Amino acid sequence: MLDGRKIADELQAMAGERPDLILQRAVQRIHEHGPPFDWVGIYLRAAGARLVLHSNMGGPTDLARIPVGQGVCGTAVAEGRDINVPDVNAVEYYLARSASTRSQMVLLIQQDGRIIGVLDIDSDTAAAFGEDEERELRHVAEALGQLVGPKLR
């Protein structure tokens, strides 16, 4: 099982590093746990009400930019909430990154209530993410907000 607190602690130890290194490490540490973490990415909020892919592992994607309000990532930002989608085929607003994706979890990365991005996890397994995964990934997203948020102002 993924230990989000351990990953968050590792990221905290990188506090003096550049934001891009911290973001890349977070993606790497989650992805290396293997399934159900088949694709892991971080999108950062950019000017013009869009999300821009910063770091990812697990395969290519054509979704380098996502407008806020579109797809699961953009909807999470627009609504200001984490979203767990057990079956992406049942969601009208899902933007397909890969035909093999069956479930998706998106967690907000925030700093002082300001959404700076999202942690996006796709799985090739339906209903792959439960409360345990969400809780552990929340530790990582919170650490990213604390560490990277102030540096992105």
Q: Structure tokens of 101?
A: 């994706």
Domain around 22: 4-152
Give pLDDT tens digits for 71-115.
999 999 999 999 999 999 999 989 988 889 999 999 999 999 999
CATH of the domain at 134: 3.30.450.40
Q: What's the gap between Cα 3 and its chain centre?
A: 16
Residue 151: burial class (beta carbons within 10 Å; 0-12, 13-18, 19+): middle
Is residue 109 within 8 A of residue 138, CB to CB? The reply is no
Name the 3-class secondary structure at 74. Answer: helix
Across the range 115-140, mean pLDDT stands at 97
Tell me what pLDDT residue 47 has.
84
Domain count across the chain: 1
- Lowest mean pLDDT, pick from 6-10, 106-110, 146-150: 146-150
Is residue 136 within 8 A of residue 33, CB to CB? The reply is no
Q: Structure tokens of 84?
A: 């767990």
Name the band, by pLDDT with cuts 50, 70 and 90, for residue 153.
Answer: low
Q: Structure tokens of 118?
A: 């999202």
Q: Structure tokens of 135?
A: 């809780």
Query: pTM (2 decimals)?
Result: 0.96
Instruction: Say which residue the tokens 């948020």 belong to.
Output: 149
* Dist. CA 89–CA 97, nearest whole Å: 12
